[in-house]
């Protein structure tokens, strides 16, 4: 075969030229160029990932308008039926005399006769600070915190409960009143606790009150940490932590209403005879 007919013969000058060009650089220079190439590739991949993330979320740091899911659902959700052979919880809604519109407002405080501080409305973020200010202003006259609330912020409810316990106040939920969601965590703060036979005390799963999304692994970690904190809170208040299993079983848009027997068994009320009426 002649050199002209050999395709490899034609490529030989090109290969020699490439080798001569590479030989101009030392090994360190080649390694630096290789690193730069890898860096450029990594940046390109990251840019593609960020672009896809922006398309999914409406931006790299999308603005999310906080939402109040408690407003979107009824103040008095239906009783949950957990299935699996368990009997549904009691449903005391027919006995309630509470006003939905009033309970949707942020919690307000009013000092009534006999040292009773009425605490009515939703436990919004910041409620604990307002409650502390109220106690600092008029706490010397208070002996009992009377609750009527659909719940709200877990952090504020537990902070309020700790202040109630620190001050040695009683807590009560009267006939016709509601204490739901995070409110039982506040109710647990009383040194003695009473509930009317026709009061509604209910539990459900906690949830984030914003539209922001969280990675599944982080969401699971946060949920477990929060559950542990709630369990420790209940134990510190002398309540059986098994109470919270009903919350974990119950979707946010329903409630597990506790019967008088359950309230006593879990020690959420301090004795079976501890009842209050309007």
Cβ-based neighbours of 120, under 8 Å, separated by 6 or more: 102, 103, 107, 108, 110, 147, 148, 149
Q: Alpha-carbon distance 115 to 170, whole Å?
A: 10
| Share above pLDDT 90 across residues of the chain, in percent, rounded to a whole number | 48
Average pLDDT over residues 208-227: 69
Q: Using only C-alpha atoms, what is the Rg of the chain?
A: 31
Q: Is the pLDDT of residue 57 over 70?
A: no
Average pLDDT over residues 155-176: 97
Query: Average pLDDT of the chain?
Result: 76
Q: How confident is the model at residue 61 (pLDDT cuts 50, 70, 90)?
A: very low
**Based on the domain organization, do 76 and 161 belong to the same domain?**
yes
- pLDDT (tens digit, 9 = 90+) per residue, 4-39? 555 555 555 555 665 565 565 555 565 655 545 554
Structure token digits, residue 278: 């309007």
**Based on the domain organization, do 25 and 102 belong to the same domain?**
no
For 261, the domain range is: 72-208+215-265
**Does residue 81 form part of some domain?**
yes
**Based on the domain organization, do 15 and 97 belong to the same domain?**
no
> Quick check: pTM over 0.75?
no
**Does residue 275 form part of some domain?**
no
**Based on the domain organization, do 44 and 139 belong to the same domain?**
no
* DSSP-derived secondary structure letter, 268: S
Q: Alpha-carbon distance 46 to 105, whole Å?
A: 46
The pLDDT score that the predictor gives to residue 71 is 38
**Based on the domain organization, do 245 and 129 belong to the same domain?**
yes
**Based on the domain organization, do 131 and 220 belong to the same domain?**
yes
- Indicate which CATH number applies to the domain containing 230: 3.90.226.10
- pLDDT (tens digit, 9 = 90+) per residue, 97-136? 777 888 889 999 999 999 999 999 999 999 999 999 999 9
**Based on the domain organization, do 77 and 199 belong to the same domain?**
yes
**Based on the domain organization, do 103 and 131 belong to the same domain?**
yes
Phi, psi of 136 (to 5 degrees): -65, -30
**Does residue 65 form part of some domain?**
no
Q: Is the pLDDT of residue 67 over 60?
A: no
Number of domains in the chain: 2
- Contact present, 193 and 270 (Cβ < 8 Å): yes
């Amino acid at each position: 075969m002649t050199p002209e007919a050999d395709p490899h013969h034609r490529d030989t000058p090109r290969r020699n030229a490439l080798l001569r060009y590479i030989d101009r650089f030392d090994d360190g220079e080649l390694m630096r160029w290789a690193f730069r190439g890898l860096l450029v590739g990594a940046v390109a991949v990251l840019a593609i990932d960020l672009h896809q993330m922006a398309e999914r979320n409406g931006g790299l740091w999308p603005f999310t308008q906080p939402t109040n899911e408690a407003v979107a659902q009824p103040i008095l959700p239906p009783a949950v039926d957990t299935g699996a052979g368990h009997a549904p919880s009691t449903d005391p809604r027919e006995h309630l005399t509470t006003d939905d519109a009033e309970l949707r407002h942020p919690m307000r405080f009013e000092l009534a006769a006999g040292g009773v501080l009425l605490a009515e409305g939703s436990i919004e973020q910041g409620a604990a600070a307002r409650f502390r200010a109220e106690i600092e202003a008029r706490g010397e006259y208070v002996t009992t915190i009377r609750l009527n609330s659909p719940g709200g912020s877990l952090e504020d409810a537990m902070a309020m409960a700790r202040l109630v316990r620190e001050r040695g106040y009683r807590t009560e939920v009267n006939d016709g009143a509601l204490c739901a969601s995070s409110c039982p965590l506040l109710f647990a703060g009383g040194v003695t606790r009473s509930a009317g036979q026709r009061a509604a005390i209910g539990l459900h799963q906690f949830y984030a009150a914003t539209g922001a999304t969280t990675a599944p692994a982080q969401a699971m970690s946060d949920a477990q940490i929060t559950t542990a904190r709630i369990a420790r809170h209940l134990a510190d208040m002398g309540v059986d932590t098994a109470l919270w299993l009903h919350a974990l079983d119950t979707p946010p848009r329903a409630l597990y209403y506790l019967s008088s027997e359950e309230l006593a068994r879990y020690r959420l009320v301090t004795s079976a005879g501890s009842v209050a009426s309007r």
